[in-house]
């Protein structure tokens, strides 16, 4: 069925796990109940999610390393009937009673990157529709082994990396070993593969070894690839893919052959995407999914060929004296500077002029950068109002587990490096 860190989980072993769940008291009447799962073992996560789904139960997934007190609070906030913590047999019921759910669903909290985290549920029927649409774009790739480096406590790793593969008859390999050398060895030992990762993971892997690592297919998500990393990966990858989505809608679009680092491709057949008509007038990416209309708070536009291009988060657009600055555009310029490893651009405040452009820059190992020289380079590439007024040299840019930078936290000064 699937592999985990070099160990194969067969259908017989999977069936044995399901039989064990049926014998556990807390899993004997699953239908209509909502379970919180805080697990680290991939075999437990995949098998228990599928068992609860097939029995008509709902699941709240949370990161496996969440401390017990925090996991308990999240589960109670989500009105779960109980918490499965670290082991399928370790169940903590909650005293409150809640009505049985009419439709079983998968629940997750939104990232909270741009505001308060919200509980979002999608029914298993909606997820099945997404998986069918997702796999319709993967015809002919059934012989490629998905190597899932992304967390399977997140819908990207679990649904797109694992469950979609099982549905199309592929055998995914889940890698949780934190050593980049191990992940690279799995990739090299699996010639026909699709690596599911996030930008941060690909950045680590491509910078870890001086050896020239060759990727067959890669899929990235969670945040658009920085331009420098995009070009670095193009040199060592046969097929580069990038998908776009959100917690409310799941996967929305896929670029099966990326044309730029901000290319998010075409919409999946089960959704309709509304956005800007061209590069000069980007507008919010709005997703129509059945009767639901989801405002993503992302800016984008369609190219003449119909491909969707991501531009920025609406909340991240910087208003400099009435002129709009899209951080990704300035970051691309910064990342082209020789010696720059990574950069992030965000909003600052000036007591007189209002919003200004600020940046944090990471230098490549052994390289010394000068903020004044960086600004001089930017003035040669950008209109003056887009040039960062302040540039801070840092050793690392803080990111979430999915490789996302919280510009709101940088703006508030909550994150320092």
pLDDT tens digits along 259-275: 999 999 999 999 999 99
What's the rounded Cα separation, in Å, for the pair 170 and 155? Answer: 18
Write the CB contacts of 33 (distance below 8 Å, at least 6 apart in sequence): 57, 58, 81, 100, 101
Domain ranges in the chain with CATH number 3.40.50.980: 2-109
**pLDDT above 50 for 365:** yes
Residues carrying CATH 3.40.50.12780, the chain: 126-315
Distance separating alpha carbons of residues 238 and 75, to the nearest angstrom: 42
Q: How do residues 19-63 score in pLDDT, each as one tens digit?
A: 999 999 999 999 999 999 999 999 999 999 999 999 999 999 998
C-alpha span between 353 and 345 (Å, rounded): 18
Q: Domain 317-412: what homologous superfamily?
A: ANL, C-terminal domain (3.30.300.30)
Architecture per CATH, domain 126-315, reads as 3-Layer(aba) Sandwich (3.40)
Region 76-101: what's the mean pLDDT?
90
Q: Which one is predicted more confidently, 310 or 398? A: 310
Handedness of CA 26, 30, 35, 39 (dihedral sign): positive
Of 183, 123, 117, the C-alpha closest to 150 is 183
pTM: 0.84
Start-end ranges of CATH 3.30.300.30 in the chain?
317-412
- Nearest CA among 348, 296, 341 for reference residue 327: 348
- pLDDT-based confidence at residue 350 (cuts at 50, 70, 90): confident
Spatial contact of 233 and 240, defined as CB atoms under 8 Å apart: yes
Q: Where does the pLDDT of residue 209 fall: very low under 50, low under 70, confident under 90, or very high at 90 and above?
A: low
Question: What average pLDDT does the structure give for the chain?
Answer: 90
Protein fold of 2-109: Rossmann fold (3.40.50)
Q: What's the confidence (pLDDT) of residue 223?
A: 83
pLDDT tens digits, 395-410: 988 776 556 777 777 8
What mean pLDDT do residues 233-245 have? Answer: 95
**Quick one: pLDDT band at residue 94, thresholds 50, 70, 90?**
very high
Predicted pLDDT at 417: 46
Please name the helix (run of DSSP H) or strand (run of DSSP E) that holds residue 103, with its range, or none. none
Predicted confidence at residue 113, as pLDDT, reads 47
Q: Which residue has the higher pLDDT, 162 or 225?
A: 162
């Amino acid at each position: 069925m699937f592999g985990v860190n070099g160990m194969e989980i067969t259908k017989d072993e999977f069936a044995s796990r399901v039989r064990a769940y049926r014998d556990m008291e807390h899993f004997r009447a699953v239908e209509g109940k909502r379970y919180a799962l805080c697990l680290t073992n991939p075999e437990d996560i995949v098998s228990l999610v599928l068992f609860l789904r097939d029995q008509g139960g709902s699941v709240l997934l949370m990161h496996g390393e969440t401390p017990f007190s925090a996991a308990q609070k999240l589960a109670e906030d989500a009105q779960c009937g109980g918490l499965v913590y670290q082991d399928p047999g370790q169940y903590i019921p909650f005293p409150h009673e809640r009505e049985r759910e009419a439709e079983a669903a998968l629940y997750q909290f939104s990232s909270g990157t741009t505001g308060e985290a919200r509980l979002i549920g999608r029914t298993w029927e909606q997820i099945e529709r997404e998986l069918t649409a997702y796999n319709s774009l993967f015809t002919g790739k059934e012989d490629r082994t998905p190597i899932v480096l992304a967390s399977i406590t997140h819908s990207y790793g679990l649904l797109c990396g694992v469950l979609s593969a099982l549905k199309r008859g592929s055998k995914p390999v889940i890698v949780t070993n934190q050593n980049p050398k191990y992940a690279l060895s799995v990739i090299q030992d699996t010639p026909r593969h699709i690596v599911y990762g996030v930008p941060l993971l690909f950045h680590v892997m491509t910078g870890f070894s001086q050896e020239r690592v060759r990727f067959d297919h890669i899929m990235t998500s969670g945040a658009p690839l920085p331009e420098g990393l995009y070009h670095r990966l193009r040199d060592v990858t046969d097929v580069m893919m990038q998908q776009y989505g959100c917690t409310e809608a799941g996967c929305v679009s896929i670029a099966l052959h990326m044309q730029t680092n901000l290319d998010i491709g075409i919409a999946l057949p089960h959704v309709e995407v509304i956005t800007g008509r061209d590069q000069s007038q980007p507008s919010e990416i709005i997703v129509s999914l059945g009767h639901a209309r989801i405002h993503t708070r992302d800016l984008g536009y369609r190219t003449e060929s119909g491909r969707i291009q991501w531009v920025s988060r609406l909340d991240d657009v910087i208003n400099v004296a009435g002129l709009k600055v899209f951080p990704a555009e300035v970051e691309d310029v910064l990342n082209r500077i020789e010696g720059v490893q990574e950069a992030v651009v965000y909003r600052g405040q000036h007591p007189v002029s209002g919003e200004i452009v600020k940046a944090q820059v990471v230098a490549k190992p052994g390289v010394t950068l000068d903020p004044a020289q960086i600004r001089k380079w930017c003035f040669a590439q950008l209109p003056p109002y887009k040039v960062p007024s302040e540039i801070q040299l840092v050793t690392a840019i803080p990111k979430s587990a999915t490789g996302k930078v919280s510009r709101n936290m940088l703006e508030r000064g909550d994150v320092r490096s």
